[in-house]
Amino acid sequence: MATQIDKEACREAYNQVRDDNTDTNWAVFKYEGSMILPGGQGTDYEDFKRMCTDDARLFAFVRITMGDTMSKRAKFTLITWIGENISGLQRAKISTDKALVKEIVQNFAKEFMFSDPRELDADNIRTELKKAGGANYDAQAE
């Protein structure tokens, strides 16, 4: 059966993360049968990381505050999590299903695909976002 996505519910969760007037800085989109639905959102990145278990496959839209001494700004990332215990068929399907998620989640600086919990380290993601981000005024202080 072809995977479908609840566009309205997922768009609402996506917009919560993008909204500067909320504290929400992550939203998860998970599978329920052949549907992709919002699976939670929150303010604590550690809460998101706890959802990334060996038997989970999900997508996450995450806001990370970046900056240097000259400015602070929000950067967004799309994370695909595939747990170690996910079957080969489900692994293959997630790459095509990602297109459905990208119809909703359109604005992000960098995309990641992880299966090792250590890769979810916020500093690791910040480093990669910094590389993708262009000007880095912190270097002037070194």
Q: Is residue 33 part of a domain?
A: yes
What is the tens place of the pLDDT at every residue in 70-106? 778 889 999 999 999 999 999 999 989 999 999 999 9
In sequence order, the β-bridge partners of residue 28 are 40, 60
Domain count within the chain: 1
Give 142's pLDDT tier (boundaries 50, 70, 90): very low
What is the pLDDT at residue 16?
Answer: 97
Q: Are 76 and 108 in contact (CB under 8 A)?
A: yes
Whose CA is closest to 61, among 42, 82, 39, 78? 78
Q: Is residue 15 part of a domain?
A: yes
Q: Is residue 139 part of a domain?
A: no
Q: Is residue 138 part of a domain?
A: no
Q: Is residue 142 part of a domain?
A: no
Q: Is residue 53 part of a domain?
A: yes
Range of the domain at 13: 4-133
Q: Report the CATH number at residue 51.
A: 3.40.20.10
Cβ atoms within 10 Å, residue 60? 28
What is the pLDDT at residue 65?
Answer: 86
Q: Are 103 and 7 in contact (CB under 8 A)?
A: yes
Give 135's pLDDT tier (boundaries 50, 70, 90): low
Collapsing DSSP to helix, strand or coil, 120 comes out as helix
Would you say the pTM of this structure is higher than 0.95? no
What is the tens place of the pLDDT at every residue in 103-116? 999 999 999 999 99
**C-alpha of 26 from chain center:** 7
| Percentage above 70 pLDDT, the chain | 92
Q: Is residue 41 part of a domain?
A: yes
What is the pLDDT at residue 133?
Answer: 64
